[in-house]
A and B are shown apart, each in its own frame.
Chain A
């Protein structure tokens, strides 16, 4: 077991593309860290550099306090689980799991004992004599994990290990991975493009975009206090609503009405180079049916009326979709996120608003409905660089903070 430190690590390919730039990351012993981001953000390249499958262009990588930049994968004592599982098809499950031990030249008895132990942990014992071709997806995935844990390495690297499983199995395996990691207490770096996996699994999440780290922190912190537009848009499902907002007379003019500003944000906007247009971000759960809001909360928020487009009743609450008139929020980050979700060319007129209202709300499709939203929970972003203007000392304070 060991800690992993990335010190200004860069990866530049021979053709000049920079896949990873200046990544600084300290992963403590036993920590479960998730690298997440859209495809092409450099997360897999970072993992491969830790594994030793890719060279590091510049910077330093230390595992257990030792510089390992020039060490071959076999000398780093780390195990990896691949997205494709990469089981050896010519070997049985037992031989697959024994392979790293045989390469390490352990004696036969120890090998058998260790394989049996690992098989028991992953409930693979009845499958030990089968070939990978005769296993289901979930079983193959478990064999791949078994091959990784069997030699008790310093760290586990996992490259989207669950993305080939179907949705139900993925949720199930998520808990298996989580439990296994806690049980073994081994440092783990886990790569995924799925923000739900990132939120539910990790002690800490690293969000990457275009080869650079955007924000590092515990899942809840990233959710509540996103440092920039990209993090805000990437984390959360359904994702945060973004609206265009124009700065006017010390307030903001938006499609939902005029938003008053507290002193802190106003001071920020008085600077000479301050943006005249902003992007307003609100999470779906910070909306509520205006009828159901008590007097005290009402004062902290703003109300607007809009036609209801679609109502999705989830039982515990309702997802209600509104269309609001007005200019769409636009920024490079948002386009990138939309492209990653595959929805870049799918957008109607005006802005779509996703809200999560209480189940008691009598809202119905086709009606117009008054909706309240919490001003203390909104975020304001600079469209030019994506910075979160409502963030002070790492805490988001909403629009009204003094």
Chain B
């Protein structure tokens, strides 16, 4: 048995080292950005990981400019609305796909997959023309609509996998208990698919939040410009000022909603929620 414990200790050590390496590799750039955002313009390039002189000026700067705050509001609003709509529509579509056998089902699934795979760059110019004609250019709906379009296939795929795991008997039981189709979905199926709904919501939200391509082509003013784009236009108070510190501060600020969003929903993504429904 001595050799057995030895190997487990050694294996544990090896895995531990590997884990530490991965975590460091992933976190160093983030910490670097955070560190830069607290430095004064003079010490910005001194190469120290831990700032010698701490300052909150960079944060003050970005929140003083209307540009950034406005972009933040746009980003949050657009991403939330797009996520909500995509998850609701995706849930209904995924439910139909996993439960019903209708003509053209495979075609529908195939087409939605096609949309997800289509290179977005090639669609940007036509979308720009279309949105200008329709008056959607530089508006919230002008961004929300393409986001929903590209997030839906993702939502449908993730959600139909979750719906397929839910025993069909539960729906039948609900119907026998006196529920309408709608009640059966809302009160029995949807609560059980909640982990799937939250997972999908997180994925869609991150997609919308991080998008740069659509946001830069389909907006021109602060009306609908989102944070990733606003960041690229960041110049600071005067044109002589070096905006690196401010950009770093903004970068830190825009990761916060994502972290909050994930932390908030992560607790609800509990696997094995359906256990006990049916035998085996």
Please give the residue numbers on chain A whose beta carbons come within 8 Å of chain B beta carbons, in ascending order.
Answer: 51-53, 72-74, 78-80, 82-90, 99-100, 103-104, 131-135, 137, 140, 147, 151, 157, 164
Contacts and interface: CB of A to CB of B under 8 A. Distances in A.
Given A84-B167, A103-B183, A89 B277 contact: yes
A85 B179 contact: no
A86 B167 contact: yes
A90 B175 CA distance: 17
Given A51-B176, A72-B175, A86 B276 contact: no
A102 to B, nearest CB: 9
B170 interface: yes
Given A84-B169, A88-B170, A133 B176 contact: no
A90 B278 contact: no
Given A84-B167, A133-B276, A137-B279, A90 B191 contact: yes
A140 B178 contact: no
B232 interface: no
B274 interface: yes
B13 interface: no
B274 to A, nearest CB: 5
B273 A89 contact: yes
Interface in B153-189: 167, 169-170, 172-180, 183, 187-188
B187 to A, nearest CB: 8
Given A53-B175, A100-B177, A82 B275 contact: no
Chain A CB within 10 Å — which of B176, B180, B274 has the most? B176
Contacts of B172: 51, 53, 80, 82, 86
A78 B279 contact: no
A140 B273 CA distance: 16
Nearest to B176: A80
28 contacts: A51-B172, A51-B176, A52-B175, A53-B172, A73-B175, A73-B176, A74-B175, A74-B177, A82-B172, A82-B173, A83-B169, A84-B277, A84-B279, A85-B277, A85-B278, A86-B170, A88-B173, A89-B273, A89-B274, A89-B276, A89-B277, A90-B192, A100-B177, A103-B177, A132-B277, A140-B276, A147-B177, A157-B176
Chain B CB within 10 Å — which of A73, A79, A134 has the most? A73
A83 B167 CA distance: 12
A72 B183 CA distance: 14
A140 B274 contact: no
Nearest to A74: B178
A96 B4 CA distance: 48
Contacts of B278: 84-87
Contacts of A137: 279
A349 B279 CA distance: 41
A99 B176 CA distance: 11
A49 B224 CA distance: 55
Contact of A104 (B178, B277, B280): B178
Contacts of B188: 88
A133 B270 CA distance: 14
Contacts of A90: 191-192, 273
B275 A133 contact: yes
Contacts of A88: 170, 173-174, 188, 277
B176 A79 contact: yes
B276 A132 contact: yes
Contacts of A73: 175-176
Contacts of A52: 175
Contacts of B173: 80, 82, 86-88, 147
A164 B279 contact: yes
Contacts of A132: 276-277
A187 to B, nearest CB: 15
A50 to B, nearest CB: 11
Given A86-B277, A90-B191, A135-B276, 7 more contacts: A74-B179, A84-B277, A86-B173, A87-B276, A88-B277, A90-B192, A157-B176
